[in-house]
Amino acid sequence: MAYELAPLPYAYDALEPYLDAQTMQLHHDKHHQTYITKLNDAMSKYPDFNGKSIEELVQDLDKIPEDIRGAVRNNGSQHLNHALFWQMMAPQAGGEPTGIIGEAITTAFGSFASFKEHFTKAALGQFGSGWAWLSAENGKLIVHAMSNEGNPLSTGKKPLLGLDVWEHSYYLKYQNRRPDYIAAWYNVINWSFVSQQLQKA
Ligand code: MN3
């Protein structure tokens, strides 16, 4: 059974003016689809792995045959990253989180403003392509950056919130202004999804 691209859970232009429709369409329909196509190509050599969830695959890369492990790491992780990323955003969202995720952030970082500072620094400080993450590790919330395809599951953490800082995620609208993209993105964070991720962790 091949991996499939789920439809974007909202319209391409739903995150305007923060994320533009053209970028969303290219990012979801082309970039994400390409990762899935390449993942399926690699996995087709080993039908024994059929039926593994994408999370299981990324969590246990050591179990993947060596000749396809690199392709599975890159494309499988990016498939998972993007599947999460679309759900981590929503129209009419953003703002300061409340409930269990709001409390967990205040406990870990002192305040929401301080969390934002840490997260922004991680996203800005990632040299070249990669992701900034808010993850749960041993019951604690941490902010960290990972280069290229890195997903927290591969290092034993649970991903709660992630921001794609590959240039393909912002270049059409923001060109080299990564700081403006990051600042705008806080307006579309889907905190209710992040809260569900925390409850699962
Ligand atoms: Mn991307």
Ligand 1: distance of its center to the CA of 80 in Å? 11
Amino acid at 153: L
Residues 90-126 have pLDDT tens digits of 999 999 999 999 999 999 999 999 999 999 999 999 9
Query: Residue 1 pLDDT more than 80?
Result: no
Same fold, 21-87 and 99-200: no
Residues 43-96 have pLDDT tens digits of 999 988 878 999 999 999 999 999 999 999 999 999 999 999 999 999 999 999
CATH, domain range 21-87? 1.10.287.990
Class of domain 99-200: alpha beta
Measure the CA–CA gap between 133 and 163, rounded to whole angstroms: 7
Ligand 1: distance of its center to the CA of 45 in Å? 26
Provide the residue ranges of all domains of the chain, joining segments of one domain with +. 21-87, 99-200
Measure the CA–CA gap between 92 and 72, rounded to whole angstroms: 35
pTM as predicted:
0.97
CB atoms within 10 A of CB 44: 12
Measure the CA–CA gap between 95 and 196, rounded to whole angstroms: 17
CA 185 to chain centre: 13
pLDDT at position 132 is 98
